[in-house]
Structure 1
């Protein structure tokens, strides 16, 4: 398949998000590592999915399933799916090991080596990146099209997130699974899932979904950042994108979500409906709107801390 020339206005990634269940870390060094890699990739890239009619620019959502990184290309505003491809990490293992080895050598050289030695290590680092980028382009041939510099930056991001590939997958985990559902997976359900992960670390797998497709809500980013939760990794998902249909706990947060769960035949040992107001419907000044978002966050926080513990205990006992 012959590649067309890159269009600088449309053939590019404008945002990158990570799956908050399988990738996000609370370790500040790891968070810094993937944030820098994301920034560099978004800053300069040439990219488009092959064999699709959708025009860019694009959002790229990364998650990990077993030994694969899933490259999920989406619309940057609605986050509706465009193309998704599984990239096996196996052919890249030796290159990833060499990446970390050379990176440590480079940092060590900067501290104590001569200019000549630093240049030699840097030359080896650039050579490794070129080799990895060429392999990446080859493995994604006729799937995702990118130039060499974009492939180099994408490889750096893969190195930053690949330590999570050894994690137990959601399907294999013995932890209770909880699904939060609201109308568009933009505000209420992602806030609930993020707070559940914060308050019950290592005790549950929390997912969120919407009845229909929504958009990223930056008010959510702001009010959650205030309590130390990074929501920039969240990508809105619909119920149609759920792999599982059976959960230990399902909590609906909107009336249409309650009806949709029943219509789609989703099942859970524990079903709860918490009617929560949608702060995106608030009108008024920015501070008034932010106040509504903070009120939702705090109400949800209290509800989770007082209600979820016995639900989890019941689910864990049932397991």
Structure 2
């Protein structure tokens, strides 16, 4: 295992309905056999439909995702916690105050706030998915390893 790749990572955001489950799904697809991955939020909400759609485009099925809150996970079992929203970051710093677990903040746009037509929203979610994929690869993938291609398809 690479020194920079932790054995267990938690992705955290506000609702555990879009950003953090998307990051969890992408990291799990890339590193299923070498890294335990989970996600949680300050609050739990149903999985976002646009997130489900763009993740399916990338070959990541998210229909079985069950949203969890920070209170429902044992934070001490993770080697790294990645926060994706300011609210999650501040709360996670409080919760991990007595743990040795590092917390990294990856500022990530809240695409659930994007207004407009369906195509405009899908484009925003695809941008988030692709940005998360790039950041996950940059942070956890050893150099020279083959990469997973993400293919976008228009869905009527």
What TM-score, normalized by structure 2, do the two folds share?
A: 0.81
* Counterpart check, 1:294 vs 2:126: yes
Could you tell me how far 1:218 is from its partner in structure 2? 1.0
Aligned to 2:19: 188
1:265 to 86, 92, 96: 96
Tell me: CA distance 1:187–1:248, structure 2 relative to 1, closer, same or farther (3 Å): same
Structure 2 stretches lacking a partner, 5+ long: 1-5, 143-156
Q: 1:308 aligns with which of 130, 140, 146?
A: 140
Counterparts of 1:13-92 in structure 2, within 5 Å, are none
1:179 alignment partner in structure 2: 10
Q: State whether structure 2 residue 117 is matched by structure 1 residue 285.
A: yes
**Cα contact 1:246–1:268 (8 A) shared by 2:** no
CA distance in 2, matches of 1:254, 1:285: 25
Q: Which structure has more helix as a fraction of its residues?
A: 1
Any unmatched runs of 5+ in structure 1?
1-174, 311-319
RMSD: 1.6
Structure showing greater relative contact order (alpha-carbon pairs closer than 8 Å, 6 or more residues apart): 2
CA contact (8 A) 1:177 1:206 kept: yes
The structure with more strand, counted as a fraction of residues: 1
Separation in 1 of the partners of 2:104 and 2:134?
A: 16
Q: CA separation of 1:181/1:255 partners in 2, compared to 1, >3 Å: closer, same or farther?
A: same
Give the drift of 1:265: 2.7
* Residue aligned with 1:245, SS: helix
Of residues 204, 218, 223, the one that matches 2:54 is: 223
Contact 2:52 2:62 in 1 (8 A): yes
Is the aligned partner of 1:243 residue 2:71? no
1:243 deviates by 3.1
2:41 is the alignment partner of 1:210:
yes
| Residue 268 (structure 1) shift | 4.7
